[in-house]
Structure formats: structure tokens, C-alpha cells
């Protein structure tokens, strides 16, 4: 009986010890995995307090980085009003983009407070430019998928910019077109005058090739383009279409005005009683889509003098006074669409 009790007690102790060891091992494994992934919380975000200089880089830099990795660093500047400056090492190389978009392996920089992506980079053709945070924080995110890891990866040197210190790098680099929202890209493209300018903005390195490809026949569509001659440069001139819209939207136009109403001289008769003036006219349908109220307004006004016959009744029944006189009328020489914001309303 005593031997049986001792055997049961020993088995219980051994089982309890194994469970404890398994629990400790699980915790250690979980902690190790978090450390390997740069994790600080459930979002795998590692917080770094920036009081001087340091470096954040892809694992094994400058050698091939591992697959299936997600690393996030949030850099927080020490000191009120301080900002953070990031400088990429010239040795930069991640998996190439697809259709100009970094889909698979990339490094991304974001303003945590605004949720604004300052840039996403991949490939190896060029090194990203210097970045400076607008606030006291900035987030760096690195992602690699399970295919085609590259080298050398990336290395980012960070440094502290004390409050009041001017930016050395100038304004922040805007996000590349592929990362911009539809609204932002719409406004950006609308500001260009030619197809060439649009293509140069979208793909600075290959814009000429893209322009040529625009006018190549598409054999996937066997409709009118198959029955009629091939497309050629100038068959449909998009630049001309855009210019026509610009010329006839909000421009100076000839209007006839009543001189009595224009000059507010209701006691006077003019001959001719109407004259032609240039005034802004046309709609503003091409204003920025986020404009609350867009209207055509003059941006340059001049006064032009015109000699006319003036007729005015004399007092006391003495007949009509007849004289030639110069009158000044406003002419609009330049016009533009002006956006009226909510605050101005």
C-alpha cells in the first residue's frame, strides 16, 4: 500500500514538472520569436527612443534578407519639438516591383500621427531620398514574402533634429504615384498640360517608352481599330483636346454691356447705348473635385477708354446737352477658375 502511494506521488510530481517545463519552454519560444521579429506588441512594433543616432536595417544586411518577415519600428524623438531624420544607405536592394508597384518585398515609411505614407520602396535602381518626420515620431515597416529574397536589403541611419533646427533635406518627398489615393492623383494629373508631362510624372524612368506604347495598335480589341488604319501619333491628339477645353472653359470673352447700367448713369443717354467689353466667361467643370464652389473670376483687370456721344437734358427746359466724352470700362484680360472653400462660404 505504501509503495503504491509513493508511486502515484512520484508520477504526479513528474507530470507536474513536465507541464511546468512545457509552459516555460512555450513562453521562452514566444519571447524569442517576438525578439526575432522586432516585436514590441501584438502589431510586431518595436519602439525606439531617439536621443542621438542609430541604425535600423533588414536582417543580415548587407546580405540576403530572410523570407516571410514583417518588422515594424516606431522611432520616437526625445525632447519637445524634436524631429527625426532618416538617411538610406546607398547599398539598397529589395525584390523588384511589378507594374511599377512594390507589392511583395518593400520598406515603407509612415507618419504615425497622420497615417500618411511618405514612401514605399523596393527594387534596386535607385536609393530612396532623405526623409524627415513632421512630428516627433516616424514608423518604418519592412515586409518580405515567401518568394525571391534579394540583397543587400536596406539600412537606414536615423538622427535627432532638435527643435528649431532647420531642415537640411528640404520638404518631404511625396509618395510615389502608385501609392497615392485616387483623389490625390486626380488633382496631380489635372495640373499638367500635355500627355508627356503626365507620363513623366507617373514613370520618370520610362515615360518616353510609355508614350510610344500609347499609340501602338491593340490587337486584343478587334473592333474599329482593326477595321480602320492603325493608330498614329496625331490621329487623336489628346494634348489638343485638353487645350481646347482650357481655351473655351474660363476665358475672356466679348460681352455687350448697357452703358447706363454699367456706369450707373440713369439720367444720361449714350450713343451707342451698348459697347463690347471683355469679361470672364465659361464654366469651371474642371476645377479640383474637392472644391466646394468653383467660379470663373478675373485675375487681370484693365480699364480701357472709349469715346461716345453723351446726351443729357438741360435743366429748366433748355433742351438737350450733346457732347463727346471718354468713358472708362473694365476689361478682363486674364481669367481663372477660383475655388471657394467651406470656410470662405
Model confidence, pTM: 0.41
Answer for the pair 45, 121: CB distance below 8 angstroms, yes or no: no
pLDDT of residue 40: 38
Beta pairing class for 45-50 and 69-77: parallel
Q: Give alpha helix (H) positions in the chain.
A: 2-36, 182-190, 195-202, 207-214, 224-227, 238-248, 259-263
Cα–Cα distances in Å, from 152 out to 62, 94, 178, 181, 277? 4, 7, 24, 30, 68
Residue 153 grid cell:
536589403
pLDDT of residue 76: 93
- Alpha-carbon distance of 121 to 105, in angstroms, equals 9
Cβ-Cβ contacts under 8 Å for 32 (sequence gap 6 or more): none
pLDDT of residue 236: 65
- Alpha-carbon distance of 232 to 223, in angstroms, equals 16
The partner residues of 143 in beta bridges, in order of sequence, read 70, 106
Residue 216 grid cell:
501602338
Centre a 10 Å sphere on the Cβ of residue 216 and count the other Cβ atoms it contains: 10
- Alpha-carbon distance of 58 to 56, in angstroms, equals 7
pLDDT of residue 108: 92
Cis peptide before 121 (omega within 30 of 0): no
Domains of the chain: 45-174 (2.60.120.290), 182-245 (no CATH), 250-340 (2.10.90.10)
Query: Which residues of the chain register pLDDT less than 50?
Result: 1, 6, 13, 16-42, 168-172, 220-234, 342-343, 345
- Alpha-carbon distance of 165 to 200, in angstroms, equals 34
- Alpha-carbon distance of 270 to 275, in angstroms, equals 10
pLDDT of residue 41: 40
Cβ-Cβ contacts under 8 Å for 14 (sequence gap 6 or more): none
pLDDT of residue 34: 36
Amino acid at each position: 500500500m505504501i509503495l503504491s502511494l509513493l508511486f502515484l506521488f512520484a508520477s504526479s510530481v513528474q507530470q507536474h514538472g513536465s507541464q511546468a517545463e512545457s509552459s516555460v519552454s512555450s513562453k521562452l519560444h514566444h519571447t524569442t520569436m517576438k525578439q526575432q521579429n522586432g516585436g514590441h506588441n501584438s502589431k510586431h512594433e518595436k519602439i525606439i527612443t531617439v536621443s542621438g543616432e542609430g541604425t535600423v536595417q533588414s536582417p543580415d544586411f548587407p546580405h540576403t534578407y530572410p523570407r516571410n518577415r514583417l518588422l515594424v519600428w516606431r522611432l520616437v524623438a526625445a525632447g519637445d519639438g524634436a524631429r527625426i531624420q532618416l538617411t538610406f544607405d546607398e547599398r539598397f536592394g529589395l525584390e523588384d516591383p511589378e507594374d511599377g508597384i512594390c507589392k511583395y518585398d518593400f520598406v515603407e515609411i509612415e507618419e504615425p500621427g497622420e497615417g500618411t505614407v511618405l514612401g514605399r520602396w523596393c527594387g534596386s535602381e535607385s536609393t530612396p531620398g532623405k526623409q524627415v518626420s513632421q512630428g516627433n515620431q516616424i514608423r518604418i515597416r519592412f515586409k518580405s514574402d515567401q518568394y525571391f529574397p534579394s540583397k543587400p536589403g536596406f539600412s537606414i541611419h536615423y538622427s535627432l533634429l532638435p527643435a528649431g533646427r532647420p531642415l537640411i533635406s528640404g520638404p518631404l518627398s511625396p509618395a510615389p504615384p502608385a501609392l497615392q489615393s485616387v483623389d490625390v492623383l486626380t488633382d496631380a494629373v489635372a495640373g499638367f498640360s500635355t500627355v508627356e508631362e503626365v507620363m513623366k510624372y507617373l514613370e520618370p524612368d520610362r515615360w518616353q517608352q510609355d508614350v510610344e506604347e500609347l499609340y501602338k495598335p491593340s490587337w486584343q480589341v478587334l473592333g474599329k481599330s482593326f477595321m480602320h488604319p492603325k493608330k498614329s501619333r496625331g490621329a487623336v491628339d489628346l494634348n489638343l483636346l485638353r487645350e481646347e477645353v482650357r481655351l473655351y472653359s474660363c476665358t475672356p470673352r466679348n460681352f455687350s454691356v448697357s452703358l447706363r447700367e454699367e456706369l450707373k448713369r440713369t439720367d444720361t443717354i449714350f450713343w451707342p447705348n451698348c459697347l463690347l467689353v471683355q469679361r470672364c466667361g465659361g464654366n469651371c467643370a474642371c476645377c479640383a473635385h474637392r472644391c466646394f464652389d468653383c467660379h470663373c473670376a478675373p485675375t487681370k483687370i484693365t480699364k480701357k477708354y472709349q469715346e461716345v456721344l453723351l446726351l443729357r437734358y438741360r435743366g429748366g427746359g433748355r433742351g438737350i446737352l450733346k457732347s463727346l466724352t471718354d468713358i472708362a470700362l473694365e476689361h478682363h484680360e486674364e481669367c481663372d477658375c477660383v475655388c471657394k472653400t467651406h470656410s470662405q462660404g
